[in-house]
Amino acid sequence: MSAGQHDDDGVAEDGAGDEAAAASIGPRQTIVAFPNGPLLVRGDFDIVDPDGNQLRRSRKTVALCRCGASVIKPYCDGSHKLIGFKTEPES
């Protein structure tokens, strides 16, 4: 996403006009990979099926399942805690 467009000061390097202004106050979208948990998607985005149809979505920021155990996929329902899902190999 847009994080790669920023230098360390959070200022767009090559953006122009409005995009640069928007980028300068933060990324348009981020995906936060939570340890042992879901992917939190925040910002301006669509969630669609393979044909491009919008999926049901009832909130701005969503948590996407990545343990596979959620019963409300693609969203997280907390099941990762029940199955002891780990994102890092046990050391």
Partner 1 sequence: MKQPEPRGPVSSLLLATLNGPEQSSPEAPSTASDLAPAVRDAVAATNDFAFDDDLQLTLFCLFELHYSGIDGTSGDWEWNPDLIAARRFLEQAYEAQLRSATTLPELPAPTSADVAAGLFELTGADGGPSMAKYVAKQATEEQIGEFLIQKSIYTLKEADPHTWSIPRLTGRAKAAMVEIQADEYGGGVPERMHSALFAQSMRGVGLDDGYGHYVDDVPAITLASSNLMSLFALNRRLRGAIVGHLAAYEMTSSLANRMYARGFRRLGFNDAVAAYFDEHVEADAVHEQIAGRDLAGGLVEAEPDLLSDVFFGAAAAAVVDTWMTEHILDAWKVGSSSLRSSASVIA
Q: Which two tokens stand for residue 61?
A: 């920021």
**CA–CA separation, 40 and 32 (whole Å):** 5
Using CA atoms, how far residue 42 sits from 47, 59, 89, in Å, is: 12, 10, 27
2 or 79: whose CB is closer to partner 1?
79
Q: For residue 32, what are the β-bridge partners?
A: 40
Smallest separation (angstroms) from partner 1 to the CB of 68: 14
**CA–CA separation, 8 and 65 (whole Å):** 30
Question: By rule CB under 8 A, what string of x and - marks binding of each residue 28-67 to partner 1?
Answer: ----x-xx-xx-x-----------------xxxxxx----
Smallest separation (angstroms) from partner 1 to the CB of 63: 4
Q: Is residue 42 a contact partner of residue 29, using CB atoms and an 8 Å limit?
A: yes
Among 8, 71, 88, 89, binds partner 1 (CB under 8 A): 71
Tell me which residues touch partner 1 (CB under 8 A): 32, 34-35, 37-38, 40, 58-63, 71-72, 75-79, 81-82
